Structures are given as structure tokens and as C-alpha cells.
Amino acid sequence: MSPIPLPPPSLSALFRRGPGRVGPVEADRLTADGTAVLLDVREASEWHAGHAPGAVHLPLSRLVDGASLPGRAEDRPVVVICRSGNRSRRAARVLAERGVQATDVVGGMSAWAAEGLPVRDRRGAAGTVI
């Protein structure tokens, strides 16, 4: 008998004890259906080389200096992504301290691309994760 798959966690369950973590497929689902906004916290050169379609951009360096979230992310749950998951985890903690519902993507854009999810450059063409 095969195990019964568990449903993905609800958004509220992700934030019970501070920032949660999701995989790239779940992050794509949460942001594609409008439940949350995908926030990329990599530096501009990384963003321009390749990012998830529909993501908004705010480098971690600016976020920790107190910059406001981009308009589309204000007053919304946020799923934070970077290249590998280290910066996004830090950004999710910073955002949670500000009262923002934030979770981060385990494995970042590297895992996103490995799952076959789309990556676009600044012109909308196929991008790369750097």
C-alpha cells in the first residue's frame, strides 16, 4: 500500500512560527495563483541574467538598509528567492520582523531552474541562473 500524499501546507501554516520554507514547485504554485508575491533578493546582475517570470526585485542589500517592498508586494504574503536559499532565508527573517508574512524558497533559483520552472532574462528571453 502506497502512502497517501499530504496536501501542501496552507499559507497560514507557513507563518505560524516565523518564516517558513517551501520548495520551488510550491513557490511557483503560491505565486502563480496569486496567493503570494515572489520577491527576488539577488543583486541586479543576477536578476538581469535570469529570474522567475512575474517576480519582483529588491536586492537583500537594500532590504536590510530599510528599503520598502516593491508596490506589488506591499501588504501581501511574500515568497522570497535568491540563488541558493541563503539570502532569501535572511530576507524572510528581516521581513517577518517587519510584520510581513514571508517564506523562502529552499534551494533558490538554482533549485527553481533544476525543477524545469521558467527563467527569463531582462528582455524576456530564456535566462540563466548566476
pLDDT at 7: 46
Give me the catalytic one of 63, 82, 96, 113: 82
SS3 104: strand
Give the separation between CA 4 and CA 1, rounded to whole angstroms.
9
Q: Is the pTM of this model over 0.75?
A: yes
Map grid coordinates 541558493 to a residue.
84
Domain ranges of the chain: 22-114
Q: Which CATH architecture has domain 22-114?
A: 3-Layer(aba) Sandwich (3.40)
pLDDT of residue 122 exceeding 70, the answer is: yes
The verdict on whether 105 is a catalytic residue reads: no
Q: Each residue of 23-81: pLDDT tens digit? A: 999 999 999 999 999 999 999 999 999 999 999 999 999 999 999 999 999 999 999 99
Q: Each residue of 84-116: pLDDT tens digit? A: 999 999 999 999 999 999 999 999 999 999 999
pLDDT at 9: 55
SS3 60: helix
Confidence class for position 123, pLDDT limits 50, 70, 90: very high
Cα torsion 75, 110, 57, 52: sign: negative
The DSSP symbol for 35 reads S
